[in-house]
């Protein structure tokens, strides 16, 4: 019976169906009844011929054409493995216009399956999609740039400029050497700066990779600065995720890097009273940069805002803490007060060189504040609240009274 059904289905699909579908007639799920209604429809077909009207269901014919071959392969529907199934699903999502990457590796696919929830899956896919997009854009720009360069070179080749080319090359190389020389010197005589690498278990995989990226940036800024720090990576365990990510970034250069990496804690390396832990949660605000102290930065990217993690670490070890005086110098508007590691590095390097807070805090992202404060903050707040109350029209009299009082005070003082 079943085989007869499938046979019927095939016949119906291959020959008559496109005809019938043309009229959008109602079909049933069961193939047997379908053939019945087909014949009914055929009769109708004779009665009216929509020749000059638009054939509204023609597209179905197109979609169903060439079905025979396809349907046969599909009919051997075998169970898909989860991995292949996921790949299939992603393919469909791509067709449906969702943010899904073009290519996905086996490893990424596994990560995708292991996501704990649907929204996590969605987020992960979007992340991969955007990453792919940026990469593609970068590549395109690179090619454009190369082409432009080639054109320029062709133009320049008319002139004789072999010398200039070799000159640029020479300069870059010697710059490198000079930088390395300065860093090597700082490793003997320079001020130390500690990155505390003990936050691995407080972070997700992506947060760790972001952290390492930021540290790599910081290290390169430091290397190129006039008076670099001697960088310490403390609590860096062998075979930790941090370490693996570092090696991914630096490759063989990791062993030649002019930093001190150790699995010891900073309290074992330095005297405790010289250490200051920098954390945005600290109740103490940094006033000046102290050249005799050793500052510690927590190597942590904290996307989910876990407050007090680094402060807890400092409390446990009984270390002094400090926060940057962001409120004092900047009119903070939005965003968290924790800055990225490379921003911290810029700020500390500038402070070290100049001691100028204004210059140093230029590196705080502009979107987070609305400019520098030129008066003491409490005064500013006072005028701000005055403006607000005036705007709201509340308690106007009170303010007027206060004003009058102050004014008369001033008069009497004179």
Partner 1 sequence: IQPPEKPLQSEEWNRLRESFSSPEIFEDVMLNSMINCNSPIDVAKSLLTHVAKSRGDIAYSLLVKYLALCVQQGKTSEILDMYDIMKVRFKVLESGAYNLLIRGLSNSDQWRMALTLLEEIKKIMTPSRTSYESCIKAASRHQEMNLAFELYHEMLDKDLAPTLDALQAFFDYNRGIKSAELQKKLFGILFYLRDNQIYPHKTFMQSIKLWFESIPGGNWRGHLTNIEDSGQCPVCNHQLEDSELTEEEYNNLRERIIRDVIHGTDTFRKTSPQEFEAFQTFVENRLPFDIVIDGLNVSHMKQRQKQCENLFNAINCLAKGNARLLVLGRKHMLINSSNWRKELMKEMQDKAEFFFAENISEDDPFLLYATLRSGKHCKFVTRDFLRDHKACLSDSTTQHLFRKWQRGHQIAFYSSLKTMFLSFFIQQPALRYDCVVQTTGDTWHIPYKSIFEEKYSYQVPRKWLCIQQKG
Contact footprint for partner 1 (CB under 8 A): 21, 24-27, 29, 54-60, 62-64, 67, 70-71, 74, 77, 79-80, 85-86, 88-89, 92-93, 95-98, 118, 202, 283, 307-309, 311-313, 315-316
Assess contact for 349 and 221: CB atoms under 8 A: yes
Cβ nearer to partner 1, comparing 100 with 344: 100
What is the smallest separation between the CB atom of 14 and partner 1, expressed in angstroms?
A: 12
What is the smallest separation between the CB atom of 88 and partner 1, expressed in angstroms?
A: 5
- Exposure string of 53-64, with b = 16+ CB inside 10 Å and e = fewer, is eeeeeeebeeeb
Cβ nearer to partner 1, comparing 60 with 213: 60
Q: What are 261's strand-pairing partners?
A: 233
Cβ nearer to partner 1, comparing 121 with 343: 121
Q: How far apart are CA 317 and CA 196, in angstroms?
A: 13
Cβ nearer to partner 1, comparing 112 with 246: 112
Main-chain phi, psi angles of 243, to 5 degrees:
-60, -45
What is the smallest separation between the CB atom of 222 and partner 1, expressed in angstroms?
A: 30
In this structure, the number of other CB atoms found within 10 A of the CB of residue 341 comes to 24
What is the smallest separation between the CB atom of 410 and partner 1, expressed in angstroms?
A: 22
What is the smallest separation between the CB atom of 60 and partner 1, expressed in angstroms?
A: 7
Cβ nearer to partner 1, comparing 64 with 293: 64
Closest to 23 measured CA to CA, from 2, 9, 4, 38: 38
Burial class (CB in 10 A: 0-12, 13-18, 19+), 136: exposed
What is the smallest separation between the CB atom of 102 and partner 1, expressed in angstroms?
A: 16
What is the smallest separation between the CB atom of 168 and partner 1, expressed in angstroms?
A: 43
Cβ nearer to partner 1, comparing 50 with 365: 50
Assess contact for 129 and 98: CB atoms under 8 A: no
Q: Which residue has the tokens 């929204």?
A: 119
Cβ nearer to partner 1, comparing 43 with 118: 118
Q: What are 320's strand-pairing partners?
A: 276
What is the smallest separation between the CB atom of 323 and partner 1, expressed in angstroms?
A: 12
In this structure, the number of other CB atoms found within 10 A of the CB of residue 361 comes to 22
Assess contact for 28 and 37: CB atoms under 8 A: yes
Cβ nearer to partner 1, comparing 202 with 353: 202
Cβ nearer to partner 1, comparing 21 with 360: 21
Question: How distant, in Å, are the alpha carbons of 276, 323, 363 from that of 285?
Answer: 12, 5, 18
- Exposure string of 228-238, with b = 16+ CB inside 10 Å and e = fewer, is bbbbbbbbbee
Q: How far apart are CA 90 and CA 125, in angstroms?
A: 9
Q: How far apart are CA 294 and CA 153, in angstroms?
A: 49
Q: How far apart are CA 242 and CA 205, in angstroms?
A: 10
What is the smallest separation between the CB atom of 96 and partner 1, expressed in angstroms?
A: 5
């Amino acid at each position: 019976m079943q085989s007869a059904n499938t046979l019927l289905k095939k016949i119906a699909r291959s020959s008559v169906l496109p005809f019938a579908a043309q009229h959008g007639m109602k079909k049933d799920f069961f193939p047997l009844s379908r053939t019945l209604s087909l014949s009914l429809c055929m009769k109708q077909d004779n009665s009216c011929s929509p020749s000059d009207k638009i054939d509204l269901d023609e597209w179905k014919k197109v979609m169903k054409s060439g079905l025979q071959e396809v349907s046969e392969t599909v009919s051997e529907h075998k169970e898909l493995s989860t991995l292949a199934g996921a790949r299939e699903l992603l393919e469909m999502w791509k067709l449906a216009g969702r943010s899904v990457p073009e290519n996905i590796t086996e490893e990424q696919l596994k990560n995708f399956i292991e996501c704990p929830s649907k929204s996590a899956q969605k987020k992960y896919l979007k992340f991969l999609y955007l990453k792919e997009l940026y990469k593609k854009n970068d590549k395109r720009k690179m090619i454009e740039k190369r082409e432009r360069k080639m054109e320029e070179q062709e133009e320049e080749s008319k002139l004789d400029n072999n010398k200039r080319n070799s000159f640029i090359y020479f300069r870059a190389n010697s710059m490198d050497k000079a930088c390395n020389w300065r860093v090597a010197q700082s490793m003997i005589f320079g001020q130390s700066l500690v990155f505390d690498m003990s936050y691995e278990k407080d972070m997700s995989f992506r947060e760790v990779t972001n952290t390492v990226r930021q540290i790599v940036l910081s290290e390169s800024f430091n290397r190129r600065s006039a008076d670099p720090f001697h960088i310490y990576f403390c609590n860096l365990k062998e075979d930790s995720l941090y370490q693996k990510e570092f090696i991914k970034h630096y490759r063989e250069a990791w062993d030649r890097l002019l930093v001190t990496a150790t699995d010891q804690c900073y309290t074992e390396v330095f005297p405790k009273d010289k250490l200051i832990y920098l954390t945005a949660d600290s109740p103490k605000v940094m006033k000046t940069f102290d050249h005799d102290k050793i500052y510690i930065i927590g190597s942590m990217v904290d996307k989910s805002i876990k407050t007090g993690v680094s402060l807890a670490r400092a409390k446990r070890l009984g270390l002094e803490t400090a926060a940057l005086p962001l409120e004092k110098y900047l009119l903070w508007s939005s965003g968290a007060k924790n800055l990225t590691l490379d921003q911290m590095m810029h700020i500390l390097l500038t402070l070290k060189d100049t001691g100028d807070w204004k210059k140093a805090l230029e590196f705080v992202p502009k979107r987070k504040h609305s400019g520098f404060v030129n008066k003491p903050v409490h005064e500013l707040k006072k005028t701000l609240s005055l403006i607000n109350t005036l705007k709201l029209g509340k308690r106007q009299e009170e303010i007027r009274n206060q004003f009058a009082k102050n004014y008369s005070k001033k008069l009497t003082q004179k």
